[in-house]
């Protein structure tokens, strides 16, 4: 009989782990609290302009389709973990499944599994916490995630052209990352901002695009050329605006220090895109408590060693994806596969 | 701002960090939020909190401690509220001021004079605001310098 694994969270991390485990002859229960699987990536768009910018969204979506039809992966949507007892090789878990219709009752299900992979992903930083940046107050202030959704839903990012001036757009980086509460780099927002900047330029050549940054996180295989490509057409300004205010003409005025020039400046834009970062999901603590695993200093799932990013303090529980710390899609997929491989390795002994 | 290597005092930032209020100086990652929010930078383009921090980190001891900058800060804590790295620049300023006194760049009497100016400014502002609040018709076109001279003439601060 096949050994069984419970994967909690059907984002790209959980999906990658499930596919890898199934390939290695395990049976997988893939638990998802929402009605549909895929996590954040399901609301993301292709960021190609006249050529592919390697954002990996299509790669992730291919995996989502693959997992849906896999015979050895049972997908349990609208479901969460209620309880968990036992140890490596025999965990007894209780699953709660919310009904599809209001007249049905909550269903409970008991499963016996050999190992568990928590892969519940991240939460987007709530930029409303920075009242000074005007999100929720001014219509022209958006987040990177708003761009993803709009582009996916409308197939276009159309910025209304005013007859008095060509629209101008500015990205503000590190919104909610690298501060005293979340003192780490979110690793994905510089890249999505640059990809969107190129895409916006491509779709609306008249628009001017500016990126306010502290330093550009340009890591990742093949990413350097994207930055090179931006340098010609996108304005990069080192310095983070302290405030966004709507001026009498309904345009958005920002005040910042232009660090390269060493002076305080004011500029006006029509749209401000906040590069909101990655923070732990509110449910991370609750799941950690049910599983008995530790959190790290930032509130993500903790692991046992500097060079081991999958093993938790409980034997048989391995974490995967951005619930362990910020990751882009390629790193998330690799991390999900690594968690699966750890299980294969442990049970091969 | 040319930096002469032989003027560099690599110990300076650690001395500041040991001083009460200066503990977090090395955390600064130069985002410029302090300068962009500072009311003094708004009226004096040469006053730049981020640059002062850079000068400390670069070890420009003599230039920082003898500068006018450290006395221009109004200790309003705006920069401190915006700083993502908890550098606590208003407190860093306090640390730099006491080092400047201790190392003989200014006299203790000078420091006292600064305190008097700060307290005087607070009183002046208070009186000025009270003057326009008291006015029945709440005239809005009256200029601050006129209010100030009225206050200074009428009341003894
Ligand atoms: C605006 C934005 C744009 C981005 N653009 C790109 C890009 O272009 N390229 C790129 O490589 N990366 C991009 N990223 C990063 C990318 O989103 C992540 O790498 C990826 O989503 C991480 O996947 P995950 O599975 O770890 O988490 P998630 O996508 O968060 O998936 C977690 C899943 O777990 C479920 N879940 C949560 N809690 C529970 C629970 N208690 N029980 C059961 N299920 C639960 C969730 O519903 C979700 O389906 C972007 C990120 C942001 C914020
Ligand atoms: S990698 Fe991204 S940009 Fe390239 S085709 Fe796929 S979704 Fe589009
Ligand atoms: S990826 Fe860029 S925008 Fe995001 S936290 Fe890191 S440096 Fe800031
Ligand atoms: S706001 Fe803080 S981190 Fe940013 S430049 Fe000023 S002191 Fe440094
Ligand atoms: S405390 Fe000093 S440096 Fe900071 S904002 Fe106020 S005046 Fe500027």
DSSP string, A185-224: --SSHHHHHHHHHHHHHHH-TT-EEEEEESS----STT-H
User: Helices A329-348 and A57-68 meet at what angle, rounded to 10?
Assistant: 40
Q: Are residues B120 and B94 in the same domain?
A: no
Tokens of B148: 């100030």
What is the distance between the alpha carbons of residues A165 and B121, in angstroms, rounded to a whole number? 44
Residue B45 confidence (pLDDT):
94
- For ligand 2, mutation pick of A56, A196, A225 (most atoms within 8 Å of CB): A56
Whose CA is closest to atom 4 on ligand 3?
Answer: A189
Q: Are residues B120 and B87 in the same domain?
A: no
In a domain, B26, yes or no: yes
- For ligand 2, mutation pick of A51, A55, A329 (most atoms within 8 Å of CB): A55
Q: Are residues B84 and B121 in the same domain?
A: no
Residue A196 has pLDDT above 80, yes or no: yes
Domain count, chain B: 2
Residue A218 confidence (pLDDT):
81
What is the distance between the alpha carbons of residues B76 and B122, in angstroms, rounded to a whole number? 12
Q: Cβ–Cβ of B41/A264 closer than 8 Å?
A: yes
Residue A21 has pLDDT above 60, yes or no: yes
In a domain, B22, yes or no: yes
Residue B157 confidence (pLDDT):
63
Q: Are residues B26 and B81 in the same domain?
A: yes
CATH number at residue B49: 1.10.1060.10
Q: Are residues B76 and B151 in the same domain?
A: no
Q: Are residues B138 and B102 in the same domain?
A: no
**Boundary residue ending a domain (B106, B121, B141):** B106
Residue B2 confidence (pLDDT):
65
Q: Are residues B69 and B122 in the same domain?
A: no
Can you name the residues that pair with A47 across neighbouring β-strands?
Answer: none
Mean model confidence pLDDT for chain A: 94
CB A308 within 8 A of CB A319: no
In a domain, B2, yes or no: no
Overall pTM > 0.90: yes
Residue B75 confidence (pLDDT):
94
Q: Are residues B24 and B77 in the same domain?
A: yes
Tokens of A330: 């390629």
H runs (alpha helix) in chain A: 12-23, 57-68, 144-154, 189-203, 224-233, 284-291, 329-348
Higher pLDDT, A162 or A46: A46
In a domain, B129, yes or no: yes
Q: Which domain holds residue B148?
A: 110-155
Q: Are residues B100 and B116 in the same domain?
A: no
CA of A176 to the centre of ligand 3 (A): 9
In a domain, B3, yes or no: no
**Boundary residue ending a domain (B106, B127, B145):** B106
Domains and CATH numbers, chain A: 4-121+281-348 (3.50.50.60), 125-277 (3.50.50.60)
Does residue B81 belong to the interface with chain A, where contact is any CB pair within 8 Å?
no
| Overall average pLDDT of the A219-228 stretch | 82
Residue A223 confidence (pLDDT):
81
Q: Are residues B133 and B79 in the same domain?
A: no
| Overall average pLDDT of the A93-107 stretch | 87
**Min distance A200 CA to chain B CA atoms (Å):** 26
Chain centre to alpha carbon of residue A3: 30
Q: Are residues B37 and B98 in the same domain?
A: yes
Q: Cβ–Cβ of A179/B84 closer than 8 Å?
A: yes
In a domain, B31, yes or no: yes
> Using one digit for the tens of pLDDT, what is the confidence trace for A229-286?
999 899 999 999 999 999 998 999 999 999 999 999 999 999 999 999 999 999 999 9
Q: Are residues B73 and B119 in the same domain?
A: no
- Within 10 Å of residue B11's Cβ, how many Cβ atoms? 10
Q: How confident is the model at residue A18 (pLDDT cuts 50, 70, 90)?
A: very high
Residue A321 has pLDDT above 90, yes or no: yes
In a domain, B143, yes or no: yes
Residues 194-253 of A with CB under 8 A from B: 214-215, 238-243
User: Which candidate from B29, B36, B85 shows the least CB-CB separation from A242?
Assistant: B36
Residue A225 has pLDDT above 80, yes or no: yes
Does residue B54 belong to the interface with chain A, where contact is any CB pair within 8 Å?
no
Q: Enumerate the residues of chain B whose CB falls inside 8 A of the CB of residue A237.
A: none
**Boundary residue ending a domain (B90, B106, B122):** B106
CB A336 within 8 A of CB A119: yes
Does residue A174 belong to the interface with chain B, where contact is any CB pair within 8 Å?
yes
Residue A44 has pLDDT above 70, yes or no: yes
Size of interface A-B (CB pairs under 8 A): 54
């Amino acid at each position: 009989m096949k050994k069984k694994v419970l994967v909690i969270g059907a984002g790209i991390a959980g999906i990658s782990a499930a596919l890898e485990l199934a390939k290695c002859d395990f049976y997988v229960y893939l638990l998802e609290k929402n009605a549909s699987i895929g996590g954040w990536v399901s609301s993301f768009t292709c960021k190609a302009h006249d050529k592919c910018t390697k954002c990996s969204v299509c790669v992730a979506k291919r995996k989502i389709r693959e997992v849906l039809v896999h015979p050895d992966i049972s997908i349990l949507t609208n479901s969460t973990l209620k309880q968990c007892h036992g140890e490596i090789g025999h965990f007894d878990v209780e699953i709660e499944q919310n009904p599809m219709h209001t007249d049905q009752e909550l269903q409970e299900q008991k499963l016996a599994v050999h190992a568990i992979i928590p892969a519940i992903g991240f939460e987007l930083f709530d930029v409303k916490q920075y009242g000074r940046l005007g999100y929720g107050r001014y219509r022209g202030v958006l987040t990177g995630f708003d761009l993803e959704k709009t582009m996916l839903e409308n197939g276009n990012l159309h910025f209304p052209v005013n007859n008095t001036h060509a629209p101008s757009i500015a990205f503000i980086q590190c919104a909610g990352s690298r501060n005293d509460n979340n003192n780490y780099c979110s690793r994905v927002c510089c890249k999505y901002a640059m990809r969107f900047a190129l895409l916006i330029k491509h779709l609306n050549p008249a628009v001017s695009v500016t990126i306010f940054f502290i330093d550009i996180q340009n890591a990742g295989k093949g990413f350097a050329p994207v930055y090179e490509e931006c340098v010609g057409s996108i304005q990069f300004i080192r310095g983070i605006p302290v405030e966004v205010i709507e001026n009498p003409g309904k345009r958005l005025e920002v005040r910042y220090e232009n660090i390269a020039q060493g002076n305080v400046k004011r500029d006006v834009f029509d749209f401000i895109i906040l590069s909101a970062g990655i923070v732990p999901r509110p449910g991370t603590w609750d799941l950690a408590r049910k599983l008995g695993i530790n959190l790290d200093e930032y509130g993500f799932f903790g692991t046992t060693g500097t060079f081991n990013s999958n093993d938790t303090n409980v034997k048989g529980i391995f974490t995967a994806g951005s619930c362990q710390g910020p990751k882009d899609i390629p790193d998330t997929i690799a991390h999900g596969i690594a968690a699966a491989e750890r299980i294969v390795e442990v049970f091969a002994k | 701002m040319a930096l002469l290597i032989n003027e560099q005092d690599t110990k300076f930032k650690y001395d500041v960090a040991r001083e009460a209020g200066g503990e977090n100086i090395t955390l600064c990652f130069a985002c410029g939020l302090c300068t962009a929010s500072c009311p003094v930078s708004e009226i004096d383009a040469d006053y730049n909190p981020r640059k002062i921090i850079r000068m400390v980190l670069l070890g420009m001891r003599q230039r920082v401690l003898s500068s006018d900058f450290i006395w221009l800060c109004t200790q309003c804590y705006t920069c401190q509220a915006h700083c993502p790295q908890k550098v606590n620049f208003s407190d860093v300023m306090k640390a730099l001021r006491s080092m400047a006194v201790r190392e003989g760049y200014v006299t203790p009497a000078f420091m006292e004079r600064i305190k008097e100016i700060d307290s005087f400014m607070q009183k002046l502002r208070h009186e000025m605001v009270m003057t326009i609040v008291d006015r029945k018709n709440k005239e809005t076109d009256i200029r601050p310098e006129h209010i100030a001279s009225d206050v200074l003439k009428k009341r003894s601060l």
